[in-house]
Amino acid sequence: MPEMLASYIAGAWYTAPDEGTVVNDAATGEPVARVSSTGLDTQALVDHARSVGGPALRGMTFQARGAALKALATYLDANKVAYHELSLATGATRRDGAGDIDGGIGTLFAYSSRAKRELPDGYVLVDGDVESLGKEGTFAGRHVYTSLPGVVLQINAFNFPVWGMLEKLAPTVLAGVPTIVKPAGQTAYLTALVVRDIIASGALPEGALQLVCGGVGDLLDRLGGEDMIAFTGSASTAATLRGDDAVTARAARFNAETDSLNCSILGPDAVAGTQEFDLFVKEVGREITTKAGQRCTCIRRALVPEPAVDDVLSGLRGRLDRVVVGNPRSESVTMGSLVSLRQRDEVRDAVNALARAADVVYGDPMSVAPVDADPQRGAFMAPVVLLCDDVDRAEPHEVEAFGPVTTIIPYSEARDVGQIAARGGGSLVGSIVSYDPDFVRDVVLDAAPYHGRLLVLDRDCAGESTGHGSAIPQMVHGGPGRAGGGEELGGMRAVRHYMQRTGLQGSPAVIAALTGDS
Amino acid sequence: MPEMLASYIAGAWYTAPDEGTVVNDAATGEPVARVSSTGLDTQALVDHARSVGGPALRGMTFQARGAALKALATYLDANKVAYHELSLATGATRRDGAGDIDGGIGTLFAYSSRAKRELPDGYVLVDGDVESLGKEGTFAGRHVYTSLPGVVLQINAFNFPVWGMLEKLAPTVLAGVPTIVKPAGQTAYLTALVVRDIIASGALPEGALQLVCGGVGDLLDRLGGEDMIAFTGSASTAATLRGDDAVTARAARFNAETDSLNCSILGPDAVAGTQEFDLFVKEVGREITTKAGQRCTCIRRALVPEPAVDDVLSGLRGRLDRVVVGNPRSESVTMGSLVSLRQRDEVRDAVNALARAADVVYGDPMSVAPVDADPQRGAFMAPVVLLCDDVDRAEPHEVEAFGPVTTIIPYSEARDVGQIAARGGGSLVGSIVSYDPDFVRDVVLDAAPYHGRLLVLDRDCAGESTGHGSAIPQMVHGGPGRAGGGEELGGMRAVRHYMQRTGLQGSPAVIAALTGDS
């Protein structure tokens, strides 16, 4: 039997006594680790965070917390070879692993740099100016942010075992709030390896980070208004968590980032032969093959002007024919596997559901010949493109195949495209690929309230564009409705999500003394 | 039978065909109105808001929306005599009514003034600076806020039938989002009267405001990620609403402002004879008698240094002995009734629960001799003060008597008082009455994360202080945990609560074109 993953609780490593669940290599099917949290002392977890980790973090200034993040990032960067090796077991290629591992470490660096420039060497953030609240000038008000006195519980998705933890940890540390991280079982071994190094680094004070491998047991029963639950994963799990008494009755803060039916929109101007046409085909192709389409930001709906559909499909065929699916340990492979056989089966089911409303025009969801791997033991799947000609069908806007799958949806009127995008019910990200400023403006204004991020991709920015699917530290990541209704990242905006805003009122002298301004 | 209150739906007044529920005058017991929403067409409500009210509001610039608020405020101000007369039926004195009616209209004026100064003459708010996202300067990002495309459902409490609607309506109109208001049944007649005038004023476009008198039926089933539910009321109703599929599964935004166990803290320096001592006694006395203690911000816990307890109690006796309870239509009356006999009975029950852990040291919860009123028919109650000597008891921190009731809680160590305040589990507001800057600083830093607002009251600001209990447009109103975990008001912060933040990415020229900057 493979090794049982240990949890890190109240300053010690805890290994469950039972057999737990075996997690297999996504590409080979070989056992990698076992996962169980049987016997987990959730009270000790929460007490330790509140009484040790929280006070230690809150005792550091923002500048000291930022310096700690930098030290942590430097340490992890020096140890990352091991993460990259282990990442291959998740089915990710080395390139995919870079997005997760180097992307995660880079997020720590980015937050430490911004903290140095943007945060004070103190404990309280001011928000807005002093408000004069009386004609004589003797009564004033100002808003401040202070650290939440509780704990942040991260419940993460399988697809970013490193970045998913670090992108939440960076702003949480800056906010002065301790974290309990609960990785998804399928890839918890990689998170656990990184947590082991974080603890070994000594960069964060004891209690700032704890780890639960396996289920969280009754942990939610111990959370309330001082605490926050930061979730990434499926919409159905988000609904369950959000319905827990911790949130509904005790008003624990809740943030959800759920995968959504993100779209990319090709402008009517961007006909075959234009640079934007080529950018669109490249972007869609890259999105559905990166991490085998297992990104919550992946392009699930390609909205294409009717006259351009054949050209787009032809372009995609050309790109996707060159994709080599297989064991990510093989040099020639450009697309790895899904995370598990179960996940592959779910994606196949979703493709079948989509196929009720659309035609599979590229790829075979049921068949693949992976390089250097057994298609029965590894969770492989070939890229699949569907075409939905019936604008009235709901499936392309509601059924998510969380794999290398996208649906082309033709549109006839440019003025309708914003509303077609909105039929996704809220998305993390959308992109508009066009060089027509009027089209871009109309679509952005229509689509913005349904999106957390919108990329306008054209010849001018393509060289430096970070791409449709990449969540970057500077921009908010999250979206309304189907995307969970939450928000992460966005520079120092994320730090404030883990703090309480309070309006202080008093004499101008008192307000100045409390907020550090004269 | 009294008149049935009409609802305003899809541009027409709707009167339920059944008998409904009779609402009585709080002081006299006479019938005032009937309430029912039987036969309510909730689909028509939502469709009208989304397809008529929303587009009309979004078609106005922020400046035009601000001007509409001003026109509305001016109209209501000219018609307010009728509101003040009807307000007496709620048990409120004329002074109480001013807080509700003039306070509500003043909030409209305040938001219109701020909009004129602080909002652009456009449709999109920018958030933060342009972010350079590439070394060559060809890729950039900026965040914008756009109007939620759905509807805001206000579910309001009985205690502020006018202000409670208008303080939510002002930022919602500025945000460009239509509203459905559902007042509490007990005082819905006053809200309905004001809504009738709002519609008659023509200040807002049709569909910007609709009214439901009575239950909301299946309205929540029609709300999702485009929409927002803005609730004020009890913690238990907040929990029910927050657990609805509209919120948990469809990610409708949810904001709760629930009454909480707010505290006022007397500093050890503020011994009898100091100005701060007198200010504290006056503030506590005023808080528990204003609106007969039916404000969600009322001081429920008076934290007093042990040596000062007798003096505080003596001071409170002196003030409360002068209170004249009775029919608010009588000139001599300084404190009216609770909103209903049922509410009075609930407050009595709560006092009995508190009395298990504390002694009633002033007043008799079961007996009152109201001026010009029948104590059997009007919901009267005398002011009650309890004293809890046992610091380990939970009741004073958990049981809320939503009436003219407060509990004095002695404390011995100044360093503990922040944590005693925190035992309320999150409050809308706390106040610190002290002239000792070190004490103030320590308590504010400890207490801030548990409060949405903190007032530091002393001799320097007392002349212009708006008081512990007053939510004002400039400062946020809301609080963590027990207080609901939400936020309202706070100037233009509230406008953003009804908008979607989106990170735009593209070439600098595209970003500038979309955000109006060069």
Task: Return d(Cα A468, Cα A455) in angstroms, integer.
Answer: 6
Residues of A112-128 as b/e, b for ≥16 C-beta within 10 angstroms? bebbeeebeeebbbbbb
**Least CA distance to A144: which residue of chain B?**
B448
Sign of CA dihedral A119, A120, A124, A128: negative
What's the token pair of residue B319? 């003030």
Structure tokens at B457: 């009251």
Give the closest-approach CA distance of B312 to chain A in angstroms.
22
A-chain CB neighbours of B495 within 8 Å are none
Shortest alpha-carbon distance between residue B298 and chain A (Å): 17
Nearest to B143 among A240, A456, A490 (CB): A490
In percent, the amount of chain A with pLDDT more than 70 equals 100
Q: Do A164 and A295 form a contact (C-beta atoms < 8 A)? A: no
Question: B131 CB near a chain A CB, below 8 Å?
Answer: yes
Among A461, A482, A492, the residue to mutate for chain B (most B Cβ within 10 A): A461
CA distance A203 to chain B (A): 26
Global confidence as pTM: 0.96
Residue with tokens 């005032």: B32
Determine the pLDDT at residue B259: 84
Query: Position B168: which residue type?
Result: K
Q: Where do we find the tokens 């509140």? A: A50
For the record, the structure tokens of B170 come out as 């002002």
pLDDT at A391: 85
**Separation of alpha carbons A145 and B476, rounded Å:** 12
- H or E element, residue B385: strand B384-387
Q: CB-based burial of residue B379 (10 Å sphere; 0-12 exposed, 13-18 middle, 19+ buried)? A: buried
Sign for the CA dihedral angle at A436, A289, A161, A449 comes to positive
- Give yes or no for a contact between B357 and B395, defined as CB atoms under 8 angstroms apart: yes
pLDDT at position A518 is 39
Per-residue pLDDT tens digits for B244-293: 999 999 999 999 999 899 999 999 999 999 999 999 999 999 999 999 99
Strands A488-489 and A476-477: antiparallel
| Helix or strand (DSSP H, E) at A381 | none
Inter-residue contact A150 to B481 (CB < 8 Å): no
Q: Which of residues 225-264 of A touch B (CB under 8 A)?
A: 225-226, 235, 238-240, 242-243, 245, 247-253, 256
Q: Is A257 a catalytic residue?
A: yes
Contacts of B59 in chain A (CB under 8 A): none
Q: What is the DSSP string of A314-367?
A: HHHHHHHTT--BB-TTSTT-SB---S-HHHHHHHHHHHHHHTTTSEEEE--TT-
According to DSSP, the residues that pair with A34 across neighbouring strands are A4, A22
Of residues A247, A452, A510, nearest to B242 (C-beta): A247
Which residues lie closer than 8 Å to B318 by C-beta, 6 or more apart? none
Distance CA(B34)–CA(B427), nearest Å, equals 34
Q: Which two tokens stand for residue B149?
A: 């495309």
Which DSSP string corresponds to B63-83?
HHHHHHHHHHHHHHHHTHHHH
Phi, psi of A178 (to 5 degrees): -75, 155
Please list every residue in chain A whose beta carbon sits closer than 8 Å to the beta carbon of residue B252.
485
As beta bridge partners, residue B211 has: B8, B181
Taking CA atoms, what residue in A is nearest to B251? Answer: A481
The minimum CA-CA distance between A353 and chain B, rounded to whole Å, is 21
Minimum distance, in Å, between the CA of residue A102 and any CA atom of chain B: 17
Closest-CA residue to B101 (of B2, B22, B34, B187): B187
Q: Which of B213, B283, B287, B296 is catalytic?
A: B296
Q: What does the alpha-carbon distance between residue B120 and residue A295 come to, in Å, rounded to a whole number?
A: 37
> Does the distance separating the beta carbons of A450 and B505 come in below 8 Å?
no
Evaluate whether A344 touches A380 at the Cβ level (below 8 Å): yes
Q: Given A167, A283, A287, A296, which residue is catalytic?
A: A296
CB-CB contact of B143 with B127 (8 Å)? yes
**Position B503, amino acid:** G
Task: Mark yes or no for CB contact A504/B444 under 8 Å.
Answer: yes
Contact B245 A226 (CB under 8 A): no
Interchain pair B510, A456: CB under 8 A: yes
Sheet holding A262-266, edge to edge: A359-362, A384-387, A405-411, A299-305, A262-266, A427-433, A451-457, B499-506, B140-147, B125-132
Rounded to whole angstroms, the Cα distance separating B456 from B434 reads 7
Selection from A493, A16, A439, A9 nearest residue A265 by Cα: A439
Q: Do A123 and B445 touch (CB under 8 A)?
A: yes
Place of tokens 């959308």: A430
What backbone torsions phi and psi does residue A16 show, to the nearest 5 degrees? -65, 145
Q: Is the ipTM of this structure higher than 0.90?
A: yes
Q: Does B419 touch chain A (CB under 8 A)?
A: no
- Per the DSSP assignment, residues forming a β-bridge with B126 are B144
- Please report, as a single letter, which amino acid is at residue B69: L
Q: Characterize A190-224 residue by residue with b for buried, 16 or more Cβ atoms within 10 angstroms of its Cβ, and e for exposed.
A: bbbbbbbbbbebebbbebbbbbbbbebbebbebbb
Cα–Cα distance list, B298 to A506, B186, B266, B326 (Å):
18, 20, 16, 20
Distance from CA of B450 to the nearest CA of A (A): 8
Tell me which residue of B320, B331, B299 sits closest to B95, measured CA to CA.
B331
Task: Record the tokens describing residue B316, joined without a space.
Answer: 């409170």
Could you list the mean pLDDT of each consecutive 10-residue stretch along chain B, which spans 518 residues?
A: 96 96 97 97 97 98 98 98 98 97 98 97 95 96 98 98 98 98 98 98 98 96 97 94 96 94 98 98 97 97 98 98 97 97 97 97 96 96 96 94 97 95 96 97 96 98 97 97 96 97 97 80
Question: Among partner residues A240, A456, A504, which is closest to B505 by beta-carbon distance?
Answer: A456
- B208 neighbors B104 (Cβ within 8 angstroms): no
Per-residue pLDDT of A411-430, as tens digits, reads 999 999 999 999 999 999 99
Q: A139–B465: do the CB atoms touch at under 8 Å?
A: yes
Q: What is the pLDDT of residue B517?
A: 54
Q: How far apart are CA B167 and CA B165, in angstroms?
A: 6
Considering only CB atoms, which chain A residues are within 8 Å of B248? 239-240, 242-243, 248
By the CB < 8 Å criterion, does A392 face chain B? Answer: no
DSSP secondary structure of A95-153: HHHHHHHHHHHHHHHHHHHHHHHHS-SSS-EEEEEEEE-STTS--EEEEEEEE-SS-EE
Q: Could you give the CA distance from residue B147 to residue B207 in angstroms, rounded to a whole number?
A: 15
Model confidence pLDDT, tens digit, residues A170-210 = 999 999 999 999 999 999 999 999 999 999 999 999 999 99
In 3-state terms, what secondary structure has residue B310?
helix
> Are the CB atoms for A413 and A261 separated by under 8 Å?
no
Low-confidence residues in chain A, pLDDT < 70? 517-518
Name residues 439-498 of chain B within 8 A of A (Cβ). 440-441, 444-445, 448-458, 460-461, 463-466, 472, 474-476, 480-485, 487, 490-491, 493
A101 exposure class (CB count in 10 Å sphere: 0-12, 13-18, 19+): buried
**In angstroms, rounded to a whole number, what is the distance separating the alpha carbons of residues A66 and A16?**
34
**Integer Cα distance of A180 and A333 in angstroms:** 36
With CA atoms as reference, report the closest residue to B425 among B400, B403, B404. B400
Closest C-alpha to A334, from A274, A280, A292, A362: A292
- Reduced to 3 states (helix: H, G, I; strand: E, B; else coil), residue B487 is coil
Q: Which two tokens stand for residue B397?
A: 């921190």
Give the type of residue at A67.
A
| Minimum distance, in Å, between the CA of residue B75 and any CA atom of chain A | 26
Residue of B143, B249, B510 with shortest CB distance to A476:
B143
Of A249, A452, A472, the CB nearest to B502: A452
**Closest alpha carbon within chain B to A473:** B133
